[in-house]
Amino acid sequence: MTHRIAITRPVSRSISNCELTHLGRIQIDLENARRQHQAYEAALRSLGVEVLSLSEEPDLPDAVFVEDAAIVLDECAIITRPGAVSRRPETESVARALIPYREMFTIQAPGNMDGADVLTIGKEIFIGLTRRTNQSAIEQLRAFLAPFGYSVHGVSVSGCLHLKSAVTQVAGDLLLINPAWVNESNFPGSEFIGVDSSEPYAANALLVGEALLYQPAFPRTLSRLEAADIHPILVDQSELAKAEGALTCCSLIFRV
């Protein structure tokens, strides 16, 4: 019988020195951030996910955002080359954790890629072209995945850090999207729920099997999900949001 594993990592004690692109720096309450992250891990465990928590990286402020270090598919894993130079050391420990589970490929220079720019829907992979991910990395990923039957599509993104800040899968072919940041035409065959315009960061949700994790910070968009008969598990991540973090960023979830 298969089950799901989530690789996570504790919030670094240096989180206040995190990279920022679109937000101003606001003081992050480390202890509250850690409590919220532990609640996030507990929510995953409640769904039957085995949580594999790596060691804290005290000198790597953004290391809690493990999603950016790798892409994990059924057939293989791809170790990324994060667009922020300060984040590249994060990949080593994530790669070690994945070795027992997957064949591995690695993005090489001049490619840059953050995992949060990668949205996988079945055999379709959509990759945001952002400040953190470039065309070279997309071409490398396309070559790695061609033998496994994946189609890889570059997607223009503006106004936000990552593709999954702008769009995520919430059920089947249903996507939650901020159309101001990414165009619906990039995802043919999908249906959409648009975020409330007063909640631009509300498009990030974490789908785990049939369950959806979502933040209580976006009540108007939450009402739109509930109107579509989607009733998420609410997980507060308001502290890590100050570091431009989101629910998908904080775990690498895969089947074994």
What residues contact residue 157 under an 8 Å CB cut-off, 6+ apart? 117, 128, 129, 130, 163, 166, 181, 182
Q: Locate the domains of the chain by residue range.
A: 4-255
The catalytic residue positions are 162, 249
Q: Report DSSP state, residue 11.
A: P
pLDDT in tens, 124-179: 999 999 999 999 999 999 999 999 999 999 999 999 999 999 999 999 999 999 99
What residues contact residue 71 under an 8 Å CB cut-off, 6+ apart? 77, 78, 80, 115, 118, 120, 141
Q: What are the start-end ranges of the H helices in the chain? A: 30-46, 91-98, 135-145, 163-166, 219-227, 238-241
Burial-class residue 66 by CB neighbours within 10 Å (0-12, 13-18, 19+).
Answer: buried
Nearest to 194, CA basis, from 185, 184, 186: 184
Tokens (6 digits) for 101: 């589970």
> pLDDT class for 1, splitting at 50, 70, 90?
confident
Nearest to 16, CA basis, from 56, 58, 54: 58
User: What is the three-class DSSP state of 198?
Assistant: coil
What residues contact residue 219 under an 8 Å CB cut-off, 6+ apart? none
Pairing of strands 103-106, 76-79: parallel
Average pLDDT over residues 61-76: 98
CA count, 13 A, side-chain hemisphere, 140: 19
pTM: 0.97
Give me the pLDDT at residue 49, please.
98
pLDDT in tens, 188-203: 999 999 999 999 999 9
> pLDDT class for 256, splitting at 50, 70, 90?
very high
pLDDT in tens, 22-60: 889 999 999 999 999 999 999 999 999 999 999 999 999
Give me the pLDDT at residue 224, please.
98
User: 85-92 long-range CB contacts below 8 Å, 24 or more apart?
Assistant: 86/19, 86/60, 86/61, 86/62, 87/19, 87/60, 87/62, 87/63, 89/57, 89/60, 90/57, 90/60, 90/62, 90/63, 90/66
Please give the distance of CA 178 from its chain centroid, rounded to a whole number: 16
Average pLDDT over residues 107-126: 98
Was domain 4-255 assigned CATH 3.75.10.10?
yes
